[in-house]
Amino acid sequence: MPAMIKDPFQRLNLDREVLSVSQLNNRARLLLEDVFGGIWVEGEISNLARPASGHIYFTLKDSQAQVRCALFRQNAARVRQALRDGLAVKVRGKVSLFEGRGDYQLILDAVEPAGDGALRLAFEALKEKLGAEGLFAAESKRALPAHPRRIGIVSSPTGAVIRDIISVFRRRAPQVELSLIPTAVQGREATAQIVRALKLADAQGFDALILARGGGSLEDLWCFNEEAVARAVAACVTPIVSAVGHETDVSISDFVADVRAPTPSAAAELLAPHSNDLTQRVSVLQRRLTLAMNSRLARERMRLDGLTRRMRHPGERLRQQAQRLDDLDMRLRRAFAQQLNGRSHKLAQLEARLAGQHPGRHLKLLRQRLDSLAERLPRAMKEGLKARRLALKSQMQTLHVVSPLATLGRGYSILLDERGRAIRSAAATQPGQRLTARLGEGELEVRVEDNHVAPVTLSLLD
């Protein structure tokens, strides 16, 4: 192959440089690849060919033109949708030239359905919005449990996804309890069903959740890019693993979830520690424990040897304690004797004082006084009654002197109205009023003829 020139844009020499066909095609290829390094082109597939090499060749056309396209095997394996003639697609690649034939072509690295453009824009807009709200922040992510016991799986009850997950757990961790929370994972009702399933699963106290779906086109996976699903994932208190689509598929729920797994099987492996790994870890911990115990025993043995050398024979210490015990015993006996003598002396003094204050003599004096008072009491009572009788008689005489009854006895009377009130003035009566006249002996009923208060009018004819 001829040497590559440094600048494919340099002009031909003025002295009429002559190029070979291979040189021309080489310069044209370099020029095209440099200018059109990575572009998107939209059109319709035709003349699709799949040779045994695994590469894919087709023509991309519109109503007025066409261009040949080559999709090599390593890039063809990443294309999700089935390519066919008449399919409208968007392709990304570089413009190149097949130097052997001089054919102008596109070397592709990605192929997508033509309808993805609006979805991609919506995907990026929602991603930017939720990212600004902090739903993707690493500090909000929860760690997965090391040894889960109960795991909830939010997925479709049909299809290979649930079978793959169950197979992984049976092989790696059969002791884990799995519960399926069924939901649609594609179609119009999928978004609402996924939100309800996530809320239901989060309320059942699982150790972790798996949100799973198999691969598909962008439209098929779009329910996992809905804002409602993203916020439902973010609201889950239970740690959640998102495993939507194949390894190359990325959804909004992957960004919001605590952990993203490239496939549903990988999500199961994240939450199902292999029993061999656990056995190996237990063996490592057992060896570390044995080493730590041996090291601790060696240190304690050295410490015990040092204490043994420092310890004195217990017989010497027992003798010292016995001598001290004898000294304390003698001191206790002396103190007890002294205290006993002092208490005896004080008791004798108290007994002497008690004998001097014996209550017998005091009782005799009180009895004599009681007898004297008993003799004086009848005399005092008689004299008191006599004095009070004389005073009562004197007061009765005085009362009789001032009593109105005595006045009545001398011929006077008292007039009382119907209410028993004394009449003190003629003006308090009325002609014809009946009064009671109380005499010294008995009463009279009287009637007022004239009280002489109002003038009396006499008839001239009488």
Q: What is the CATH number of the domain that holds 235?
A: 3.40.50.9100
Q: Identify which of 262, 281, 278, 272 has the alpha carbon closest to the alpha carbon of residue 171.
A: 272
- Confidence at residue 115, expressed as pLDDT on a 0 to 100 scale: 62
Can you give the pLDDT at residue 242? 93
The pLDDT assigned to 2 comes to 42
Q: 13-47 as b/e, with b when 16 or more CB fall inside 10 Å?
A: eeeeeeeeeebebbbbbbebbeeeeeeebebbbee
Instruction: Indicate left, alpha or beta for 96 from its phi (over 0: left) and psi (-120 to 50: alpha).
Output: beta
| Same-domain pairing of 42 and 154 | no
Same domain for 96 and 51? yes
> Who's near 223: CB < 8 A, 6+ residues apart?
185, 186, 187, 190, 191, 194, 229
C-alpha torsion angle, residues 381, 382, 383, 389 (rounded to 10): 110
Tokens of 321: 């304690």
Amino acid identity at 370:
L
User: Alpha carbon of 56 to those of 36, 65, 68, 116, 239: distances in Å?
Assistant: 21, 20, 11, 21, 42
Say if residue 250 is in the same domain as residue 294: no
Contact of 73 with 54, CB cutoff 8 Å: yes
193/268 same-domain check: yes
Q: Sort 402 into a burial class: Cβ within 10 Å, 0-12 / 13-18 / 19+.
A: exposed
Phi, psi of 210 (to 5 degrees): -120, 120
Co-location of 61 and 82 in the same domain: yes
| Element spanning 362, H or E | helix 359-402
Nearest CA-CA partner of 217 in 50, 48, 82? 82
Query: Does residue 293 lie within any of the structural domains?
Result: yes
Residue 10 near residue 18, CB atoms below 8 Å: no
In a domain, 248, yes or no: yes
Short-list 179, 186, 130, CA closest to 153? 179
Rounded to whole angstroms, how far apart are CA atoms 72 and 44? 19
Alpha-carbon span 369 to 319, nearest angstrom:
76
**454: DSSP letter:** S
Is 122 within the bounds of a domain?
Answer: no
Residue type, 246: H
State whether 290 and 269 are in the same domain: no
- Domain assignment present for 394: no
| Residues spanned by the domain of 103 | 21-115
Which residues, in sequence order, are CB contacts of 426 under 8 Å at separation 6+?
451, 452, 453
Q: Which long-range contacts (CB under 8 A, 24 or more apart) does 18-24 make?
A: 21/102, 22/99
Helix, strand, or coil (residue 84): coil
* 265 and 297 assigned to the same domain: no
Instruction: Please tell me whether residues 210 and 293 are part of one structural domain.
Output: no
Q: Which of 273, 299, 329 is the last residue of a domain?
A: 273
- Residue 373 placed within a domain: no
Same domain, 257 and 150: yes
What is the gyration radius of the CA atoms in the chain, in angstroms?
64
Rounded CA-CA distance 216/224 in Å is 12
399 found inside a domain: no
**How many distinct structural domains can be found in the chain?**
3
- Indicate if 269 and 286 belong to the same structural domain: no
Strands (E), 72-161: 88-98, 103-113, 150-155
The pTM assigned to this predicted structure is 0.42
Position 457 scores a pLDDT of: 55
DSSP string, 330-350: HHHHHHHHHHHHHHHHHHHHH
**Residues 164 and 259 placed together within one structural domain of the fold:** yes
Reference 202, options 245, 154, 243, 134; nearest CA is 154
What pLDDT sits at residue 1? 41
* Judgement on whether residues 267 and 285 belong to the same structural domain of the protein: no
Q: What is the per-residue pLDDT for 318? A: 79
The last residue of a domain, from among 261, 288, 308: 308
CATH (domain of 111): 2.40.50.140
User: Which single residue is written with the structure tokens 């040949």?
Assistant: 68
- Whether residue 328 lies inside any domain: the answer is no
Write the CA distances from 186 to 44, 140, 155, 228, 250, integer angstroms: 26, 28, 10, 15, 16
How do the pLDDT tens digits run along the chain, 462 residues long?
444 444 544 555 545 678 888 888 788 888 887 778 788 998 888 889 999 888 999 999 887 889 999 999 888 887 766 788 878 888 899 888 888 887 889 989 888 877 655 567 678 888 899 999 999 998 889 999 888 899 999 999 988 899 999 999 888 888 889 999 999 998 888 999 999 999 999 999 999 999 999 887 777 788 999 999 999 999 999 999 999 988 777 889 999 999 999 899 888 888 887 666 667 777 888 888 988 998 899 888 888 888 877 776 677 677 778 888 888 888 899 999 999 998 988 998 888 887 777 777 778 888 888 888 888 888 889 898 999 999 998 888 888 777 776 677 777 788 888 888 888 888 888 888 888 888 878 888 889 888 887 765 555 554
CB 273 within 8 A of CB 147: yes
DSSP state of 420: S
Return all residues near 69 (Cβ < 8 A) that are at least 6 apart. Answer: 57, 58, 59, 60, 91, 93, 105, 106, 108
